[in-house]
Amino acid sequence: MSDEILKTIDSAKLESLGKNLESYLEIILSLAEKAERGKDLYFLGERYRTILKVSQGVIEKKVLENYRNRLLEVFLRK
């Protein structure tokens, strides 16, 4: 029984972490849309790369690819 409880807690923690990381990615995208300088975009890109490192195995690969593509679109428009 205790193993099941621990697995449930771990699963809930990962799900919560994934949602928080996705929220952070949305914030990065929003700020990138508003950014005017190359330095700002570079900084946001660095934050995005940091999230990628942390989120491996927490956020689905397809979701991460979607954010990457959306961020690239913003960068290319700037």
Read off the pLDDT of residues 37-70 as tens digits, 9 standing for 90 and up: 788 888 998 999 988 888 877 888 888 899 999 9
- Structural contact between residues 35 and 77, judged by C-beta atoms closer than 8 angstroms: no
Using a cut of 0.85, tell me whether the model's pTM lies above it: no
- Structural contact between residues 66 and 33, judged by C-beta atoms closer than 8 angstroms: no
Segment 6-20 shows an average pLDDT of 79
Domain regions of the chain by residue span: 2-77
SS3 35: coil
pLDDT at 26: 92
Instruction: Indicate the DSSP class of residue 1.
Output: -
pLDDT at residue 1 tops 60: no
Cβ within 8 Å of residue 59, ≥6 positions away: 18, 21, 22
Q: What residues pair up with 56 in beta bridges, in sequence order?
A: 59
Read off the pLDDT of residues 18-31 as tens digits, 9 standing for 90 and up: 888 899 999 999 99
